[in-house]
Amino acid sequence: MNAQELARAVTAQNFLSLPDVVFRLNQLLDSPGVTNAAIGELLMTDPALSARVLKLANCPLFNVAGKVDTVSKAVSILGLNRIRSLVFTTFAAQSFEGIPEELVDMDRFWLNSVATGVIARALAFRCRIFDTELLFLAGLLLKLGRLAFYCSRPEQYRVVLRVKELGEAALIAEERAVFGFSYLELGAELMKVWQLPESLYRLVENHTAPLETLTFPREAAIVRIASELALLIDPGTNIPDDLDFDSLEIDQAATDALQLSSDLFSGLMFDAWVQSFEIMEIVRPDFARVY
């Protein structure tokens, strides 16, 4: 079975099929002339999702004067792209209950995913790439394929986890040895099934070798760097005074190509840490009580 076949099997078995409201929202956001009112009406068909949209619009991140008490106003404040990011974050973070704990700590997994997205969005802004929500989603969904492995092939994935302590490159190599493809290809195929933009799944496919790709090399380099920096954000600790960047395997060629520096990394990590925890408390309400 190749990556495309497994992605289709996973969605057919309802492991990772998009809920109707998420699928319809994705289509609506890609429609020309879509209005905030239309998005608001769709969101209100899902009370839990509406509540999270309102909670996000009222959080300190946006510093809005007065209380945001309607979904349509929340949509206008957050913007359509951020709404898409929130909806996919919420869907993804709630769709993987029941995965054996020995395979993955889900709170730690999603904090890392959210942090990757937050950092990628911040780096994109600093690199004058203004579709920052695309970078957020790429970071958020970067390891989607790994969750699909956990759900659909848990016993085989236990074999892969034998090399976990050797790092990410070893895990990817072992995935290819066991399955014939890695979580990157599987995640990209899932995004195709979901009809997400090509630019998004290309970033996931290519982030491990960003400067070798002909499609979106700068964006892929940002996702690559963000995935490393996100490893510093730990659910069980407060923000340290000094972050140990030397412990990371940051792609120096990608850093040089984007003209980024460790001073810049230090400056953005405090905000990223705070934002990641704020988003987690919205999309996974039990998170704050766990740590």
What are the start-end ranges of the E strands in 210-252?
Answer: none
Two tokens, residue 88: 């996919």
Q: For residues 290 and 286, give the distance between their C-alpha atoms in angstroms, rounded to a whole number.
A: 6
274 burial via Cβ count (<10 Å: 0-12, 13-18, 19+): middle
Query: Could you tell me the pTM of the whole model?
Result: 0.84
What are the angstrom distances between the C-alpha of 96 and each of 146, 171, 217? 11, 21, 31
pLDDT in tens, 173-223: 999 999 999 999 999 998 888 888 888 888 888 888 877 777 788 999 999
pLDDT in tens, 232-270: 888 777 776 677 777 777 888 888 888 888 778 887 888
pLDDT in tens, 121-171: 999 998 998 888 889 889 988 998 998 898 888 899 999 999 988 888 899
Domain 3-16+99-290 matching CATH 1.10.3210.10: the answer reads yes
Two tokens, residue 164: 């976990």
List the domain boundaries for the chain.
3-16+99-290, 17-94
196 φ, ψ to 5°? -80, 160
